[in-house]
Chains A and B, each alone.
Chain A
């Protein structure tokens, strides 16, 4: 069928001058600007758009929005391909390529459909029953099921597009731009609120965009235009069309996905494709509308069975007439509007089957006046046709809706539209765990009560009359503004400002009875996407599933990408009926974010690639970079790992750097160490409480190394603290621990010891630190520092001095992490590179060698110095590390962690203790993390004795060295142990002392 036969000659919100060509499953087609892919497919006469999940049945377009269960497509190909879109939400653009995601090998020949004869072997819970055993075959089954069921294909290459993320704040967030949302937003705006109005469609208006050409409809559309114009002209209003509020989170936080470019093409070079709005709203108005509910009847999944409101939308908004002869089945007055518009479009109406005993409202009367065959107390009980609808079976239905009262009669038609009433869209309002509650009058679940949460307006609250909707929305708009602190709560506009026909009550009908029992009648589908039938729900109930949450999981009702937007309430109603209880007592399942799928790109926003995480640079970063440093990530810091010279491997570079420090002089960028300035009369007392040792007698000009424990007695940081002056200290922390230590100090000062007068200030970023280490360190420093006596007598180990280095005021600490003579030169970071370069020049004669973190690790391991976080893991006490010497047992205050050192577990003698390991084969370098056993000749699992924490090849010793923690290790010096490695070898090693180099520590005291 060509486009022209199904496209009405006039009407619709389309640009008729602009033809848009596209392809569906490779077939070229065209539509008009303003079409969705779904309306264009209908205009092109496409009936089958999918094959069903379980049975491979033909499926057509049912709805016109996010509720669509069948028309799931994949757009484009390659890196930018997008899977799992609903054709009803895809705006048509030139060159669009869409493919159906189901049907294998194609929509017309479907393997699963050929297997349809086996359908009776696919009852609810068929995964559990069929595929659970043997478990190892699940992967095989899953592969087949996925391929056959058609879940779309994820792109294989990096996303070519940019995405954006933005934080928003507002007084009133209105979700939904239909009549209620527009009215609420306008009212809140008039009260002076900052308002955000969001709607998932391309234009604001919601259901108003589906209206026809009647006088009442035209007046409503005019009201929409005026209201929108007023909002657009307001300064503090943000209108977000093409945006879906997909998640409602705690304290009125809402995630909104704005599709900026999706309607223009597959990629959007140079412009962000989508934007994630993270909205914090003082007040939220849910104007999310209501979803029309289809009636459940036999063969109701045939292509050509659609929602009444959707057919009306296709006629009025897209000027597409999806059939020639309509049979309408309704439980309410509202659907009559479709019949009137259909007739207006010049097409035939076979019948209106109204399930109610009588229909005397304004719209039914009008329909009869126009000569339409209206039959009350009648329902469509079955659709007939092979590939699509060719007729319907009508039967008289009992007023209670549970049984038929006479025989069925056929009627000819090619389109069946049904309306089972409306289900308020309660998804968002239940995202934080508030269960929706059943409302008999609205015949639907309405949002449950929120303490300070959103207010629902209009049909989202079960108010279906447009007049009442707007009226209530205006009142709530003003009330929300008042709660947000604006206006006086009085709504501003006169009432009424919209016109609409009044409607008679609807009937609560969900499953239409058939002449046969549900289990024997042709399939009556509840959830199209996952092929859940009324019979399956009845079976689940008979098998003992009574909770709606269990039935959901057993039958897969509502598990599809449409989250059961069409099927859930019908499913609940059928379950309630089977269990012979009310829908209110049965309840509904919960909904979780996201309302519709959200791309990962939008969640990541611009924070990808080198903006994924902050990189922190020292003042000398560029110098290192220019020297070709290899980098190590330490927390967020980039630190030089080693400095390879031309052609050098890492191993060679590290050896060279280590030997330079041992034999002449090296220079290390130590700027990343945490530095905290501590001032106050109680500073020394405070330090003595948080470190294991005492600082009460640390004199100005002196430094002291300390261990910090958590209250459980375990080491969590270490570092050198210098006394800068009276009541003034500088604490050094580990690079990764800086923020945590500052928080820890503040915690104790602010909460437990507020009486202690002491202040902490982070100065990590203020100072750049160049560490000179090696026998020639003093000679180098002496060339750029003339105002301090650097001799060992005047400037001893663990002293510090103020000095001028290369013309810059500096603090020099004589502390050492390599065991060599060392000076740590600290200057304000703004002069960091200057001083570094002057030190390099001064050291030229001694072949000064910049060294990185790897050489630093080797050098300190040769000396048995621990690295907190490498040799400790949060379960190590000072004694475990052999550092009992630093624990002040006689301090008057019970320092943090002290009591825990006396617990029976921390006093055990067989705790893992730090020891050295020498491999029997000197060139064998154990992998860090290797487990240690007494003998490999034992059954698996072996009795573990500990593990290797640090392991290197020591250039100075010409052999491998390792630090390890071993159970009772200090009493096992000289014992041979084994490390079973992943490659199957067992490496023998001998337990030894932790200090491998210069055991008496003479080299740092020269």
Chain B
């Protein structure tokens, strides 16, 4: 057993996901038009590279089994979801159970001027679902999330209340919010307040 693994066992590190404390304090109402659930145990990677860098695209394809998505879109494979952030920037979300060391795998595969940064603790991934989702998004953001403009597979970084978020449409009445960790308490409180009439259920509480 390596020294670090030994230490790991001795200290049994306790992971606290960004939404940890909100979940602990929130009381779910009897009825709720919006459900929030946090996805944890993910590895988040910020990928930077030129979209013209074919070896870069190829190695992402090879390691994560998914194509780098085009402007304003996301793409999924059984290993990872990738979100477009900017013309040379993507966010990859990898399930820790399916691929434990994506950074090493990508670093090993990728050549040239690219940047791979582990930001696993930097964000909270929230699934937001329910009949009240459309109205919640309209209250929170200046972006137009109407299904005609923003269907499944679309993603956008925009304002959310007085913070920002990466929003993805998963399906009907089903969106994904990715919010910076330090803002998550504020954002969650804001959502609960905005859903005061219709109710907000936070799973895990």
Chains A and B come from one and the same complex: yes
A: which residues have CB within 8 A of B?
Answer: 162, 164-169, 194, 270-272, 278, 280, 606-607, 610-611, 613-619, 621-622, 637, 677, 679-681, 757, 759, 761-768, 784, 786-787, 804, 806-809, 828-835, 838
| Residues of chain B contacted by A804 (CB below 8 angstroms) | 3-4, 7-8
In the docked arrangement, what's the CA distance between A164 and B7, Å?
52
Contact check, B138 vs A763: say whether CB atoms are below 8 A apart: no
How far, in whole Å, are A764 and B183 apart by their CA atoms in the complex? 12
Bits for B173-202, please: 1 = Cβ < 8 Å to A, else 0.
000000011110111011001101100000
B104 to chain A, nearest CB (A): 13
Q: A618-B182, A830-B120, A831-B14 are in contact. Are A607 and B148 (CB under 8 A)?
A: no
Interface string of B12-23 (1 = CB under 8 A from A): 111111100100
A830 touching B113, Cβ below 8 Å? no
Seed contacts A621-B185, A838-B11; 20 additional CB < 8 Å A-B pairs: A168-B138, A169-B146, A169-B149, A194-B146, A610-B189, A615-B186, A619-B121, A622-B21, A680-B115, A759-B114, A765-B119, A766-B181, A767-B121, A804-B4, A807-B13, A829-B18, A830-B16, A830-B17, A831-B13, A832-B121
Taking A606-B193, A834-B16 as contacts, is the C-beta distance between A761 and B11 under 8 angstroms? no
How far apart are the CA atoms of A764 and B117 in the complex, in Å? 12
- 5 nearest A-B pairs in the assembled complex, by CB-CB distance: A807-B11, A766-B122, A759-B115, A828-B121, A765-B122
Chain B interface: which size bin?
35 or more
The smallest C-beta distance from A828 to any residue of chain B, in angstroms, reads 4
| Complex Cα–Cα for A141 and B191 (A) | 49
Interface: B141 (CB within 8 A): yes
**Which chain B residue lies CB-closest to A746?**
B86
Interface string of B34-67 (1 = CB under 8 A from A): 0000000000001010000000000000000000
Q: Name the distance in Å between A623's Cβ and chain B's nearest Cβ.
A: 11
Which residue of the partner chain, among A621, A677, A766, contacts B115 with CB atoms under 8 Å? A677
CB pair A809–B14 under 8 Å, yes or no, is: no
Residues of chain B lying within 8 A (CB to CB) of residue A169? 144, 146, 149
Main secondary structure of the interface of A (DSSP, over half): mixed
The interface residues of chain B lying within 8 Å CB-to-CB of A618 are: 182
B162 at the interface (CB under 8 A from A): yes
Is the CB–CB distance between B123 and A614 below 8 Å?
no
User: Which of B48, B88, B141: most chain A CB closer than 10 A?
Assistant: B48
Using CB atoms and an 8 Å cutoff, list the residues of chain B in contact with chain A. 3-4, 7-18, 21, 46, 48, 88, 113-115, 117-123, 135, 138-139, 141-142, 144, 146, 148-149, 161-163, 180-183, 185-187, 189-190, 193-194, 196-197
Find A167's partner among B115, B119, B138 (CB 8 Å cutoff).
B138
Please indicate the chain B residues that have their CB under 8 angstroms from the CB of A615 in the complex. Answer: 185-186
**Measured CA separation A371–B9 after assembly (Å):** 105
In contact, B182 and A765 (Cβ under 8 angstroms): yes
CB-defined contacts of B121 to chain A, threshold 8 Å: 619, 765-768, 828-832
- Whether A763 contacts B117 in the complex (CB less than 8 A), given A606-B193, A619-B16, comes out as yes
Of B8, B10, B181, B186, which contacts A829 at CB under 8 A?
A: B181
Residues in B whose Cβ lies below 8 Å from that of A614: 161-163, 183, 186-187
Contacts of A787 in B (CB 8 A): 3-4, 7
B40: nearest chain-A partner, CB-CB: A830
Which residue on chain A has the smallest CB distance to residue B187?
A: A614
Which residues of B are found within 8 Å of A757, using beta-carbon distances?
113
CB distance from B53 to the nearest CB of A (A): 11
- Decide if B182 touches A637 in the complex (CB within 8 Å): yes
CB distance from B136 to the nearest CB of A (A): 10
By beta carbon, the residue of chain A nearest B11 is A807
Q: Is the CB of A806 within 8 A of B11?
A: yes
- Chain B residues, Cβ within 8 Å of A272: 197
Instruction: Please give me the residue from chain B that is nearest to A833 by CB atom.
Output: B16
Q: How far is the CB of A770 from the nearest CB of chain B, in Å?
A: 14
Q: Closest CB-CB distance, A191 to chain B, in whole Å?
A: 14
Check A607/B9 contact, CB under 8 A, given A167-B139, A614-B183: no
Q: Is the CB of B122 within 8 A of A677?
A: no
| From B11, B138, B161, B183, contact of A166 by CB (8 A) | B138
Chain A residues within an 8 Å CB radius of B48: 679, 759, 761
> With A and B bound together, what is the CA distance between A615 and B138 in angstroms?
22
Q: Which residue of A lies closest to B119 (CB)?
A: A766
Which of B15, B115, B139 counts the most chain A CB atoms within 10 A? B115
> Given A169-B144, A619-B16, A804-B7, is A761 in contact with B117 using a C-beta cutoff of 8 Å?
yes
Task: List B contacts of A835 (CB < 8 A).
Answer: 13
Contact A616 B183 (CB under 8 A): yes
| A162-B196, A677-B117, A806-B7 known; A194+B148 contact, CB < 8 A | yes
Residue of B with least CB distance to A676: B117
| Nearest CB in chain A: distance from B124 CB, A | 10
Instruction: State whether A606 and B194 are in contact (beta carbons under 8 Å apart), knowing that A617-B182, A761-B48, A765-B121 are contacts in the complex.
Output: yes
Q: List 12 A-B contacts (CB under 8 A).
A: A168-B138, A610-B189, A611-B186, A614-B186, A619-B121, A759-B88, A761-B46, A806-B13, A807-B7, A828-B120, A830-B15, A834-B16
Complex CA gap A278/B8 in Å reads: 52
Contact assessment for B117 and A834 in the assembled complex, using a CB-CB cutoff below 8 Å: no
Measured CA separation A761–B10 after assembly (Å): 33
Residues of B within 8 A of A828 (CB): 118, 120-121
A808's partner among B13, B122, B189, B196 (CB-CB below 8 A) is: B13
CB neighbours (8 Å) of B197 from chain A are: 270-272
Distance between Cα atoms of A610 and B161 in the complex (Å): 13
Q: How far is the CA of A828 from the CA of B14 in the complex (A)?
A: 12
Q: Is the pair A607, B161 in contact by a Cβ cutoff of 8 Å?
A: yes
Cβ 8 A contact of B3, one of A164, A763, A786 = A786
Given contacts A162-B196, A804-B8, contact A831 B146 (CB under 8 A): no
Chain B nearest Cβ from A771, distance in angstroms: 18
Question: Which residues does chain A contribute within 8 Å of B135, judged by CB atoms?
Answer: 166
B193 neighbours in A (Cβ, 8 Å): 606, 611
- Shortest Cβ distance from B106 into chain A, in angstroms? 13
Nearest A residue to B141 by beta-carbon distance? A167
- Contact yes or no, A765 B123, CB < 8 A: yes
| Chain A residues whose CB sits within 8 angstroms of the CB of B146 once the complex forms | 169, 194
CB-based nearest B residue for A767: B121
With A164-B139, A167-B138, A829-B122 known to touch, is A807 a contact of B8 (CB < 8 Å)? yes
Task: List chain A residues, Cβ under 8 A from B148.
Answer: 194
Across the interface, do A611 and B189 meet the contact criterion of CB distance under 8 Å? yes
**A804-B6 Cα distance, complex, nearest whole Å:** 10
Cα–Cα distance between A768 and B18 once the two chains are bound (Å): 12
- A852 CB, min distance to chain B CBs, angstroms: 18
Question: How far is the CB of A941 from the nearest CB of chain B, in Å?
Answer: 42
Residue on B with the closest CB to A831? B13
Alpha-carbon gap, A929 to B163, bound state (A): 33
B82 smallest CB distance to A (angstroms): 16
Asked if B181 contacts A619 (CB within 8 A), the reply is yes
Cα separation A271 to B197 with both chains bound (whole Å)? 7
Q: Which residue of A lies closest to B12 (CB)?
A: A807
Closest to B196 in A: A162
Chain A residue at minimum C-beta to C-beta distance from B118: A766
Which residues of B are found within 8 Å of A838, using beta-carbon distances? Answer: 11
**Cα distance A680–B197 when bound, in Å?**
50
Which residues of A have CB within 8 Å of B182?
A: 616-618, 637, 764-765
Measured CA separation A621–B189 after assembly (Å): 16
- How far apart sit A616 and B122, CA to CA, in the bound complex (Å)? 13
CB distance from B14 to the nearest CB of A (A): 4
CA distance A804 to B12 in the complex (A): 12
Provide the bound-state CA to CA distance between A832 and B3, in Å. 21
State the Cβ distance, A831 to closest chain B Cβ, in Å.
5
Residue among B13, B119, B187 with most chain A CB within 10 A: B13
A611 to chain B, nearest CB (A): 6
Contact A807 B115 (CB under 8 A): no
Contacts of A809 in B (CB 8 A): 4
Give the distance in Å from the alpha carbon of A167 to the alpha carbon of B182 in the complex: 25
Closest to A610 in B: B189
Task: Tell me, in angstroms, the Cα distance from A633 to B119 when the chains sit together.
Answer: 25
Residues of B within 8 A of A613 (CB): 162
Q: Is the CB of A681 within 8 A of B118?
A: no
